[in-house]
Amino acid sequence: MKKLAAQLCFPRPSWRWAALPFLLVVWCLAASRVPSYVLPQPWDVAAEGFRWLRSGELGHQVVASLLREFGGFGAAVVAAVLIGVSAGLWRPFREFVQPLLGLFMAIPPIAWAPLSLIFFGLGYLSIAVVIFIASAFPMAVTIQEGVLSISSGEVRAARILGAGRLQLLAHVYLPASLPFLTAALRIGFAQAWRALVAAEMIGASQGIGWMVAMGGQLGNSAQVLLGIAIIGLTAWLMESLVFRRIERRYEGWRGQ
């Protein structure tokens, strides 16, 4: 009881909120030692952000990147679920697809960007294809491992009770592999987001990656840092508001 009262009166401090102020202090100290065109101060980057925001260009660039991200990532999720579940359930397909998964995962996704530009030209589809390649195969491997982790005893018990293939899939394989599916989504989105930014820096006329690349070409380091901050903030918001909530929902299923 005393311990509980102490915790209520003197809650344990959280150090997570100290990370951002620490980063800003280090940034200010480093920027004070070099010219502003090399490393601007945080308030210079904030002023650049307000300028982009007032003109409406900032929202336009962010929306363009998100449309590409969710288009390529959404298609990758569908393909990964189909490949991962099929490979986990049927051994011949698993033996066939494993070398292909290993091959595509070994190649850096950005290496596909020039070929995608040749095939599909400068635009939405070429970057969406790179995002698809970057995220589909890691997710498929994770989902496959989730299906393979299901014990044969659970499957036999369900079959004894009269479950058919669709019932096994809906009531045994899918619930048991949900934690792996949420992990696959986190991994896939991170891979897709990195590939998106890199592909936009190479072959796009709009988007956050294009914004960073153009800032570098113009020598506008404030624009470059603004783009980098938006990239990190967007990924952090997706992690905090979407994937962590999904993972917490199914946290109790781990190890069962």
Chain segment 180-212, per-residue pLDDT in tens: 788 888 889 989 998 998 888 887 788 898 999
| Contact between 107 and 191 (Cβ < 8 Å) | no
CATH homologous superfamily for 49-250?
A: MetI-like (1.10.3720.10)
pLDDT for 11 equals: 53
What is the mean pLDDT, run by run of 10 residues, along the chain of 256 residues?
A: 50 67 85 83 89 89 90 93 87 89 87 87 86 92 82 64 65 70 86 89 85 89 90 85 73 54
| Contact between 172 and 155 (Cβ < 8 Å) | yes
Quote the DSSP letter at residue 121. -
pLDDT for 39 equals: 85
Residues 6+ apart with CB under 8 A from 82: none
> Considering only CA atoms, which of 174, 211, 170, 168 is closest in space to residue 57?
211
3-state secondary structure of 129: helix
pLDDT for 73 equals: 93
Ordered by start, the domain boundaries in the chain are 49-250
pLDDT for 4 equals: 47
